[in-house]
Structure 1
C-alpha cells in the first residue's frame, strides 16, 4: 500500500495569497497533480492539518473544490490553523469524523490502520495532550494490536531545535509517549506543523514530519532566531507499506526538475 502525506497547504479564499507572498491554493493543486503523475499512484492521501489558514468557511470551500480534482481517496485531520466547527461543517460528509468534541478518528478499511489524534487547542497554536484524549487513543490502539498502524497528529511530540516552532510544540507528551510505546504496531507517527521534513526515533517507533505544500520554515537553530519562511521546493511524503519488508518513507519534491538522466 502506498500512502501519500500532504500537509499544511494553508488554503486561502480564492484570489488571496498566503502570507501575501504565494498562491497556496495553486500550490495545493500542484501537489494533488503531482500525486497523479507519480509512476505509482498512491492508494490513499492523508492530510495532516492546517488545510486552511484562518479556519474560514470560504477557505474550506476552496479546499473542497480542489479535492474534487483528485480520484485518490483521502482522509483529512485538523491542525492549529483550522477551526474545529468550521472544519467539521466543511467535511460533514466524511463519516469518520466525530460529530462533536475532538476530531480524533480511526479508519480500518486498508492494510494499514489509520488513527488520527487531535492535538489541537481551539484558538491556540501549540498542542496539548489531555487524559481523555490519551484514554481514547489507548483504547483505539488496543482494538487491533496486531495490525500495522499509522498514527497521525498535527504537532510533533518533540522539540525540533527551531526555537520559534518549538514555542508552538505539543506539550505534556509524556503520557502520549507511554501509550505509543505500549503499542508496537504503530509503524509511524505522521505529523505536520513545522513545514519541514524531519525524522526522529521516539516511543519505540519513528516520527516523520511532512513538508508543507506551500512555504518552508527556515532552518534556523540559533536560540535568538527570528521567525522566517522561504519559498523553497514544496514536497510530500510517500509511505510504502509491504507486509514482508515493513514501511519505507520517501520525500518527494513537487515541481519540474532537470532530468531524468541515465544512471550508470
Structure 2
C-alpha cells in the first residue's frame, strides 16, 4: 500500500454497437484509444473509474467493446475497474456484458461497494430508464447510509454519473440529478474523500459538504460551456482526468488529447430543440 491512491477517471464514452460513430461524427473507440495512449507512460494505477454513459445505445456489444479496451489496460497497471450507469445506459445490456465475463456484481448489480487497497469504492446508480435526468431512490440512499456508517481504512471514493452539483448550460440544468441535497446530507461527515461524476461533458471541480467533486472531460465530445443561453452545443474533443488522493487532500489533473478534427461542432440545439428534449427526457415527463 502506498500513501497515494491514483485514479484514471473516464466518463461518457458513449460506445455503440459495431463501433458506430456517435452523432455520425465521433469515433468513440479511437477517442478512447487516444486517451489511454496518452496515459501510456503511467505504469501504476489503483482504479480506473468509468462514470457512466458507457454506452450510447445500451447494446451488449458496446459494453463488451468498452471492457475489452479498458480492462487489459488497467490490468497491466494493477488497477481495479469500476463502472456506473448513466442516462444513456441500459441495465439489461450492461448486466449481460458483466455476466458473460463472470463479473456479475452481487445483490445490487448497478450500485455496489468494494475495497481496493484499503480504499472503499462505492458505485451509485443515478440513471432513470428512458430519461435524461438522474435520481437516487430512498432505498439506495439508505443502503449508502448504512455503508458509510463504518469508515473504511483509507476512506471512500464515490462514483456516480449525474453529479450533485449544478450544470452550467440550460439543457443540462434541466437534466441534473434530482434532489441532490438528499445525497449531500448522507455524505456530510462521512469518510468520502472524493466524488467522481460525468454527464456534463466538461472538466469541472466543485465541492459538496467539504468533499471535492470531480467531473472528467468526456471521451466523446466537449460541451460548450460559454455558449449564448439560447443555444446548447458540443464540439469534438476527448479527455479524461487523473486523480491523486493522498493524505493532504485530492489533486486533479484533467486533460484533453489533441486529435484531428477537434473543435468541429458536433451539435448545436436552439431553444425549441432544447425544449423538445427537456419535454421528452426531463423530470416533468416521468413524474
TM-score under structure 2 length normalisation: 0.80
The alignment covers a number of residue pairs equal to 251
In structure 1, the partner of 2:98 is 91
**Displacement of 1:131 after TM fit?**
1.1
Question: Aligned Cα RMSD in Å?
Answer: 2.2
Residues 185-208 of structure 1, C-alpha deviation per residue, up to 9 Å, x if partnerless?
211111011110112121221111
Written as runs of structure 1 = structure 2, the 5 A alignment for 1:180-191 is 180-183=187-190, 185-191=191-197
Residues 216-249 of structure 1: CA deviation (Å, up to 9, x unaligned): 111136442x2211013x2211111223x33212
For residue 17 of structure 2, what is the aligned residue in structure 1?
13
1:94 shift after superposition: 6.0
Q: Deviations over 1:108-167 (max 9, x none)?
A: 132322111111111211101221111011111112256321111100112222111111
Report the CA distance shift for 1:111/1:239 in structure 2 as closer, same or farther (over 3 A). farther
Larger helix fraction of residues: 2
Does 1:231 find its partner at 2:239?
no
2:197 aligned with 1:197? no
Give the alignment of 1:160-171 within 5 angstroms. 160-171=167-178
Partners of 1:54 and 1:82 within 8 A in 2: yes
What stretches of structure 1 of length at least 5 have no aligned partner?
257-264
**Contact 2:98/2:104, CA 8 A, preserved across alignment:** no
Q: Distance in 2 between matches of 1:103 and 1:11?
A: 18
Aligned in 2, Cα 1:242/1:201: closer, same or farther, shift over 3 Å? closer
Partner of 1:34: 38
Q: What are the superposed Cα offsets for residues 162-185 of structure 1, whole Å, 9 maximum, x if unpaired? A: 1111111100122111101131x2
Per the alignment, in what secondary structure is the counterpart of residue 165 of structure 1?
Answer: helix
Match of 1:249 in 2: 252
Aligned-pair CA distance for 1:15: 4.5
TM superposition score normalised by structure 1: 0.87
